[in-house]
Amino acid sequence: MKAALLIMFLLAPLLACVAQDSKLIEKEARKLACDFVNSELKGKEYENFKRKKQPYPKFEPHFWRTAEVVAGRWLLKFDPPAGIYAQVSFDPDGKKPKLESYGYSPE
């Protein structure tokens, strides 16, 4: 019994490192969000303030204003005062991505 407890005690830091490695860092989350939103919006258009239809531009990692873990999920927002906006979320390991919202706001 003592040997088993000792082994568990010694392995705990290693297991914690493995669990942390499965989580994304912010740089990876930004890249993953771009890849996802670009694939979701490919071929879609928005109507600008002149009522002209245009394709969505390619999102880049630096576009995201915020990138943080909220309620156990990554949440990335690109929401300027006017123009194109998008919000993406996914699990801490990058799985189950969801395009929460997207569009164009004239103001």
Positions in the chain short of pLDDT 70? 1-22
Confidence (pLDDT) at 1: 52
Q: What is the pTM of this model?
A: 0.74
User: If phi over 0 gives left and psi between -120 and 50 gives alpha, with beta otherwise, what is residue 51?
Assistant: left
Distances (CA, A) of 16 to 10, 19, 45, 73, 101: 11, 5, 44, 19, 34
Confidence (pLDDT) at 106: 86
Q: Which amino acid belongs to residue 13?
A: P
